[in-house]
Amino acid sequence: MFTIRKRSLILLTAAILFISSSLLCLSVLAKRPDNVSILMAAPFADSTSELVKIFNQKNRGRIHLEVIKGPLETEAISDLAISSLLLGNTPFDGLLMDVTWVPKYAKAGWLESLDNYFNEDDLNALAEGADEGNHYQGSLLRWPLNADIGLLYWRTDLMDEPPRTPQELESISQKLQNGGRIPYGYVWQGKQYEGLSCVFLEIIDGFGGEWFSPDSGRIGLDEPPGLDASEWLNHLIQTGVSPRAVTNFAESEALQSFKSGQAAFMRNWPYAWAELQKNDSQVRNKVGITTMVAEKGHQPAATLGSWGLSLLKGSAHPESTVEAFKFLTSEESQRYLYTKYGNTPTKAEIFNDQKLLENYPSLQSIGEALAYARSRPETPLYAQISVVLQRKLSSSLTGMTTPVEAMQQAERSTAQVLEAAGESP
């Protein structure tokens, strides 16, 4: 009994020694793979997990990609990224960035230029609109993973054609409301947060104005289109076209309201489409999408809200990181992300894919709207001026100030922010 046990012990030890020493030899002989890490907001980390697996299989022994799952909300992921970047050596090679962060991160010196990795052909392959917001001061700093744009959702069962002007939207709503066919006309994002700036950008552009031009330093809030936009949003609440509660609506509240059949129109991002087609939706198969309304003679505008991949300064493996970027944003990956998760693609080719368009009819409308994409003012001070605007708009929407005063004050405060930062208008 004792001898058997002793013998088996010796055998086991020998086996372990043999296996471990051979593994050691192999690992010394083979080059260790480049470890590449990318921080992404939770939804993107989830949707790309299959792609990461495929990438790692393809590049076994050469590159190992790890996607770090960050928090859910845009601001939370920004806080996390900034906190780690401020500490110096970044723990990540890449960061999935919101379009509004690019100038700020660039100015802070955290981003590596991508000019050497993407050529003219790559840029030309992007759909119109998707090429916005990736450059700062002439260099390419971000490669888009998806395109996100503000859309006007409308009820196909209540009207034949969607409204094209602000006046039309209002009159259709009122007619439907007066006829008792729907409680509210139009739901949007009126809460004091970034979504309100996105809403406003589309309206001021639709009235033919511009919020702020970083190139010329001109602020367009206290000008007729700015005042018109402010008054129109206020008017929607005053006339009951939009519910009073819209002053605390973010995307999810607006979606909830529209989804339960409470409103004829909704301003939201492309993700809402899939939600509206689900079984619990009251408006399934009764929804169309189009661009935001615009004053006659002006082009509609769609706020660009895309996410893209940036290479962080201090990355040990820039080439491998960019290789991962290229894989994640390839046509094949985009097709997968669109069909599986509804992530709007950025490559023009996909919007022209007839087979895909047959199965996904909304892709065409999104592609058309994408052409009207407008990015928010591309300045490192964007967060400040956006917060100023949100605050003043919220004051006007909740009746604390008049729409005109709100714009005058917002213009003055914006100028002060720019001046304090040494960016005199």
Partner 1 sequence: MPLLILLIPSLLFLVAVFALPLFRYTWLSFHADSVMTGLVAIPNQGANWQRFIHDTRYLQDLFQTLRFSVVSVTAEIVLGLVIALILHQPMRKRALIRSSALIPWALPTTVMALGWRWIFNTPYGPIDRLTQSWLGQSLNALGEPSIAWITTVYADIWKTTPFVALILLAGLQTIPSDLYEAAKLEGAGSWICLRRITIPLLLPYLGLALMFRLAQAFGVFDLVQVMTGGGPASSTESIALYAYWNALRFLDFGYSATIMIGSFVILSSLILITWLVVTTARNRSQQSLAR
Residues of the shown chain interacting with partner 1 in the complex, contacts defined by CB under 8 A = 75, 78-79, 82-83, 86, 104, 107-109, 190-193, 243-249, 253, 256-257, 380-381, 383-384, 387, 390-391, 394-395, 397-398, 400, 413, 420-423
Choose between 235 and 326: whose C-beta lies nearer to partner 1: 235
Closer residue to partner 1, CB minimum distance, 63 or 397: 397
Kindly state the smallest distance separating residue 235's Cβ from partner 1, in Å: 17
Helix (H/G/I), strand (E/B), else coil: 312: strand
Task: Give the HSE-up count for residue 392: Cα atoms under 13 Å, Cβ half-sphere.
Answer: 26
For residue 331, the SS3 value is: helix
Residue labelled with tokens 């991002």: 269
On whether the CB atoms of residues 164 and 294 are closer than 8 A, the answer is yes
> Is the CB of 54 or the CB of 420 nearer to partner 1?
420
- Comparison of 260 and 299: residue with beta carbon closer to partner 1: 260
Q: Do 219 and 415 touch, CB atoms closer than 8 A?
A: yes
Q: How far is the CB of 215 from partner 1 (least distance, A)?
A: 17
Q: Which residue has the tokens 């589309």?
A: 202
Least distance between partner 1 and beta carbon 71 (Å): 11
What backbone torsions phi and psi does residue 309 show, to the nearest 5 degrees? -100, 130
Q: In angstroms, what is the minimal distance from the CB of 33 to partner 1? A: 33
| Shortest distance in whole angstroms from residue 415 CB to partner 1 | 13
Two tokens, residue 152: 């006007």
List all residues 6 or more positions away from 77 whose beta carbon is below 8 Å from its beta carbon. Answer: 39, 40, 41, 70, 71
| C-alpha to C-alpha distance for 381 and 378, rounded to whole angstroms | 8
Cβ distance to partner 1 smaller for residue 64 or 104: 104
Contacts of 62 (CB under 8 A, 6+ apart): 31, 33, 34, 320
What is the smallest separation between the CB atom of 193 and partner 1, expressed in angstroms?
A: 5
- Whose Cβ is closer to partner 1: residue 246's or residue 293's? 246
In this complex, which beta carbon is closest to partner 1, that of residue 272 or of residue 294? 272
Rg (CA), the chain: 26
Nearer to partner 1, 290 or 395 (CB): 395
Can you tell me the distance from the alpha carbon of 408 to that of 233, in angstroms, rounded to the nearest whole number? 16
Q: CB of 234: closest distance to partner 1 in angstroms?
A: 13
Q: What are the strands, taking DSSP E only, across 188-280?
A: 212-213, 218-219, 263-268
Q: Least distance to partner 1 from the beta carbon of 388, Å?
A: 9
Name residue, tokens 């949100």. 390
